């Protein structure tokens, strides 16, 4: 089943690349300078031997990981606290709903002015962007906890902390994992966006800026391709972890749906 799905996906990607190659080489005017997929793929392979790009990719992924881990450390306890204390959640939610729709990219210029340390500034904007999916999904998970399970544990004399640890957190964990997976993609977008706007010593975004200065559209697209590959790999790894750790949740969800 998984093999057939992977084959169909590979066939779709190959078809898309072939169509793009034909359209760019034969369907577009000569005035439009855009590299065909074959040139982009060749450039992506060449970047594996480019020390400057590899150092930049390592810097981007380091900022991404630091920002995502910090967002998890902030958002999960905050979401659990708000979900466990409804009066506090009602008091805080208007502020959160005001801040959440603000585009994360829009705060990068402000962060550049307020945070003089380059790496700290980039990690900070990643944290701001990644906090929201984790926080909201944690809240949803806390709201989805079966009240009967909590009441049953209380009837046996367990306190609030025990109910939280034994019922609420395990029940909310799949929602939290989904929030982390969504936040991972958002964090990578902000990691590259911050480099594009703020520059710096190294990074995928910095490499794209340098390639654009030399009109190397093939290298711009190749570096962008690698950013996408990193995002796909992170999503697949987190998705595999979800399926392995929370198989019981998928079974339960399937039973409820049927």
- Is residue 175 located within the same domain as residue 229? yes
- Is residue 13 located within the same domain as residue 139? no
Q: Is the pLDDT of residue 191 over 90?
A: yes
Q: Is the pLDDT of residue 42 over 50?
A: yes
CA atoms within 13 A on the CB side of 210: 14
The pLDDT of residue 151: 75
Higher-pLDDT residue of 14 and 176 is 176
Cβ atoms within 10 Å, residue 47: 21
Check residue 102 and report its DSSP letter. S
The pLDDT of residue 172: 86
The pLDDT of residue 18: 82
- Is residue 21 located within the same domain as residue 95? no
Mean pLDDT over residues 197-208, rounded? 85
- Is residue 5 located within the same domain as residue 54? no
The pLDDT of residue 249: 60
The pLDDT of residue 254: 53
The pLDDT of residue 24: 76
Indicate the range of 29-33, 80-84, 120-124, 249-253 predicted with least confidence. Answer: 249-253
CA atoms within 13 A on the CB side of 176: 22
pLDDT tens digits along 103-129: 888 888 888 889 888 889 999 999 999
Higher-pLDDT residue of 94 and 4 is 94
The pLDDT of residue 255: 46
Q: Give me the percent of the chain exceeding a pLDDT of 70.
A: 92
- The Cα 193–Cα 27 span in angstroms is 32
- Number of domains forming the structure of the chain: 2
- Is residue 118 located within the same domain as residue 186? yes
- Is residue 16 located within the same domain as residue 134? no
- Is residue 27 located within the same domain as residue 115? no
- Is residue 100 located within the same domain as residue 140? yes
Q: Is the pLDDT of residue 233 over 50?
A: yes
Q: Where does the pLDDT of residue 229 fall: very low under 50, low under 70, confident under 90, or very high at 90 and above?
A: very high
Domain that holds residue 7: 1-32
The pLDDT of residue 19: 80
- Is residue 141 located within the same domain as residue 166? yes
pLDDT tens digits along 50-80: 888 999 999 999 999 999 999 999 999 999 9
Residue 69's nearest CA partner among 156, 170, 235, 187 is 187
The pLDDT of residue 64: 95
Cβ atoms within 10 Å, residue 164: 21
CATH of the domain at 99: 1.10.3720.10
Q: Where does the pLDDT of residue 251 fall: very low under 50, low under 70, confident under 90, or very high at 90 and above?
A: low
- Is residue 26 located within the same domain as residue 40? no
- Is residue 174 located within the same domain as residue 238? yes
- Is residue 18 located within the same domain as residue 47? no
Q: Is the pLDDT of residue 256 over 90?
A: no
* The two structure tokens encoding residue 75: 């958002």
Mean pLDDT over residues 89-112, rounded? 88
What three-state secondary structure class fits 161?
helix
């Amino acid at each position: 089943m998984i093999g057939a799905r992977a084959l169909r996906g590979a066939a779709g990607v190959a078809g898309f690349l072939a169509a793009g190659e034909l359209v760019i080489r034969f369907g577009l005017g000569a005035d439009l300078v855009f590299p065909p997929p074959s040139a982009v793929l060749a450039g992506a392979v060449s970047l594996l031997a480019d020390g400057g790009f590899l150092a930049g990719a390592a810097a981007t992924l380091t900022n991404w990981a630091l920002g995502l881990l910090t967002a998890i450390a902030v958002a999960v306890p905050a979401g659990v606290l708000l979900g466990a204390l409804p009066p506090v959640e009602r008091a805080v939610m208007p502020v959160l709903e005001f801040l959440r729709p603000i585009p994360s990219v829009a705060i990068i210029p402000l962060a550049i002015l307020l945070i003089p340390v380059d790496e700290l500034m980039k990690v900070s904007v990643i944290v701001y962007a990644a906090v929201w999916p984790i926080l909201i999904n944690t809240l949803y998970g806390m709201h989805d906890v079966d009240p009967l399970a909590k009441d049953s544990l209380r009837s046996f004399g367990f306190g609030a902390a025990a109910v939280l640890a034994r019922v609420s957190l395990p029940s909310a964990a799949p929602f939290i994992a989904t929030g982390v997976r969504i936040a991972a993609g958002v964090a990578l977008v902000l990691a590259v966006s911050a480099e594009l706007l703020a520059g710096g010593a190294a990074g995928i975004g910095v490499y794209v800026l340098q390639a654009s200065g030399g009109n190397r559209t093939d290298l711009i697209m190749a570096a962008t391709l690698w950013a996408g590959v990193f995002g796909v790999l992170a999503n697949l790894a987190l998705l595999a972890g979800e399926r392995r750790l929370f198989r019981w949740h998928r079974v339960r969800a399937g039973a409820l749906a049927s």
